[in-house]
Structure 1
């Protein structure tokens, strides 16, 4: 079993190092390289020499804000199946628009666009930073983050006496953050970003910059069992898969794969999203390096598994009517096995049996999540992966409260249970 205190402490550091999908992918890559994984470039030929003795081949590739890593056991062939843990690096929030500095009524503001489906009100009155990537005129990509720099101020109750009866925010007018006052002499947003990235502002040719809450993660509550932080959806799964890949003794008869995609909150249709070619590209190239024919590749995938790990919902004590009356997962009750009759999740009977076997091997509890019939069910990368590749897939996750808030909540034991169960998955249980 994983040491819960050490796990959550390091998870908090991982979150703080990952204010954007680009930072998350880079942090995963940094930790993989420190553990002896080799980074490959997609534009290069991928050399996969025969391993010496029983030493596995451990490699990874980063594509924009996504990262895929794999551990190939000695003796693997083109027929060896894959065990894939799929997650995503992005979270809902706000993205900086071009010409992102504006002024109004004495205030300097950032012009931002809503990214995904955030709980808008949760972003009010928080110190935010800007973080993401900058591309220079010569094509070089660098990461940038400003630290606390922005705030979306809420209108005072004195000027909106009905605010507590139903706050409604206009996505354009009411969500533009302030960062200073007109005439105060501060530099432009791009200048601040350039300084944080160590480049000249005149060299910036493009950027993908998002806002992130700067409040530190925190344990609290009875027994310090609760954990609050930004971006738990879905860094809980990214981190669990990373820890599992690094600590699991890999199965001799399967190739362990970490696949952390970008743009899930937008529908995953991008070159680095789960609906794009990234995973297929990587699996095909691994198979080719192992001598797989086209027929071998399809046989390998038919014997493979993908665990799609994303956040799920714990029963909210103040809104119990929003949950299924017979399946009511609670915080601290274990990981979620996510089911949906309309294939919003990819789990089926075989996937359910697999996840239960893995949980039993890990000594970790499992709960079932099914939506209330009157509440539309969200979706994940699971159905996309199953549809694109034909690989059998099961949807799981950690139960949260306040999903898509700027600051979400989980139980420490559930986060640890996910890592333990994924470790059993990679170990071939």
Structure 2
């Protein structure tokens, strides 16, 4: 449940990839890159490369209940949010979809959630509308953020890892995540708003909180709020084997996530004071 590598594994030893059993000589790696890029090895000045599993995703189980693939955390939630954003038709607000990189290594990059990218974009939208700086701050105060990052589903082999009353399960719908230590941006106000939106459409949702003696990681919600402070809630889709090479989620949860996030995008949320919110 704790982010990061298991303590019995050593990154420098146990995760060392094999490239050759002795047939290749020094410089072969750069030559391989050059060959794949269709250039000479001397033309390769620098590179960013990552090991990936190329098995491919699959739906499995006797009733096709499971989906397994790499990087479900957090491409699954990012995909669901994008599909909802594109399907929404809401003239009562300016809807925004933001997809950040580098969350798993801290988000403190120029393209991460801690960067000024979101704020800069919103400032430019505000300016293009002919609005003032004060109008911008008023708009932020009247806005709401939904941060989407997958949640740990209950694993039947390890129920002791989970809080006894705040568990989520595969194919149970979108998950609202809370933490007393404020590692999630959910609070009573934002949770009430989101639950009201889903309940009005009879959409399923679940709640999740870590065991108090097993703190989890943080998500993009609080990090984004450093730059643009507004009401926020952390949600995600339930999954197993988070951060493994081949993660597993429920085959129904992506569709349920799209429906839940579409309901949010379509809602007319009027925030007039710190805790005065009307939904239609």
Give the alignment's TM-score, normalised by structure 2: 0.88
Measured against aligned partners, the alpha-carbon deviations of 1:238-268 in whole angstroms (never above 9, x if no partner) come to: 111221122222x112112111111111111
- 1:292 aligned residue (131, 136, 141): 131
Distance 1:378 1:242 in 2: 24
Runs (5+) with no aligned partner, structure 2: 269-280
Distance 1:286 1:195 in 2: 44
User: What aligned pairs does 1:30-429 form with structure 2 within 5 A after superposition?
Assistant: 117-118=4-5, 168-183=8-23, 188-249=28-89, 251-428=90-267
Aligned partner of 2:273 in structure 1 is none
Distance 1:201 1:356 in 2: 56
Distance 2:46 2:201 in 1: 46
CA contact (8 A) 1:337 1:396 kept: yes
Q: Secondary structure at the match of 1:172?
A: helix
Higher relative contact order (CA closer than 8 Å, sequence separation 6+):
2
Distance 2:5 2:33 in 1: 24
CA contact (8 A) 2:114 2:226 kept: no
Question: What is the Cα deviation at residue 276 of structure 1?
Answer: 1.1
Distance 1:359 1:204 in 2: 52
Question: What is the Cα deviation at residue 321 of structure 1?
Answer: 1.1
Runs (5+) with no aligned partner, structure 1: 1-115, 121-167
Aligned partner of 1:39 in structure 2 is none
Measured against aligned partners, the alpha-carbon deviations of 1:268-300 in whole angstroms (never above 9, x if no partner) come to: 111111111111111111111111210010011
Question: What is the Cα deviation at residue 118 of structure 1?
Answer: 4.9
CA contact (8 A) 1:308 1:396 kept: yes
Alpha carbons of 1:259 and 1:185: their partners in 2 closer, same or farther (altered >3 Å)? same
Question: What is the Cα deviation at residue 184 of structure 1?
Answer: 5.0
Question: What is the Cα deviation at residue 388 of structure 1?
Answer: 2.3
CA contact (8 A) 1:180 1:186 kept: no
Question: What is the Cα deviation at residue 384 of structure 1?
Answer: 1.4
Distance 1:352 1:363 in 2: 16
Q: Secondary structure at the match of 2:47?
A: strand
Aligned length in residues: 266
Q: Secondary structure at the match of 1:406?
A: coil
Q: Secondary structure at the match of 2:9?
A: coil
CA contact (8 A) 1:119 1:405 kept: no
Alpha carbons of 1:201 and 1:345: their partners in 2 closer, same or farther (altered >3 Å)? same
Distance 1:359 1:201 in 2: 55
CA contact (8 A) 1:118 1:406 kept: no
Question: What is the Cα deviation at residue 317 of structure 1?
Answer: 0.8
Aligned partner of 1:10 in structure 2 is none
Give the alignment's TM-score, normalised by structure 1: 0.59
Higher strand proportion (structure 1 or 2): 1
